[in-house]
Amino acid sequence: MGKRLLTSFPKLNCLNNNSGQFAIEAVLIMTVLVSAFVFGTSQLRESKALARLISSPWVNVVGMIECGEWKPVKQACQDHPGQRERAVSFDPRR
C-alpha cells in the first residue's frame, strides 16, 4: 500500500521547465557587470589613477617640448646645448 501512495502522485515537471531561464541569467550577468563597472569607475575617480597616469609622464614631455631634453623643465633647460658656453664658439676646442 505504501508503494501505491508514492506512485499515485503525478510527476512534477517543474525542473524541466526552462522557459525564461536565458532572460533571468542575462539580467543577472548584466547586474554583475554594471555593478563591477560602477565600482571600478568610482575607485578610479577616488584614487585619481588616471590623472597620475597622464600627469607623471607629462612632466618629461613638457621638458622635451620647451627645451629639447627628456627631463623636467628646470633641469632640461639647464642641460640644453644652447645653454652651454661653447654653443656660440667657432673654435671646437673651447
pLDDT tens profile 12-67? 556 667 778 899 999 999 999 999 999 999 988 888 877 887 777 788 888 888 88
The cell for 3 is 508503494
- What does R_g of the chain's alpha carbons equal in angstroms? 36
Give the integer Cα–Cα distance in Å for 85 and 78: 12
CB-CB neighbours of 76 under 10 Å: 21
More confident residue, 2 or 20: 20
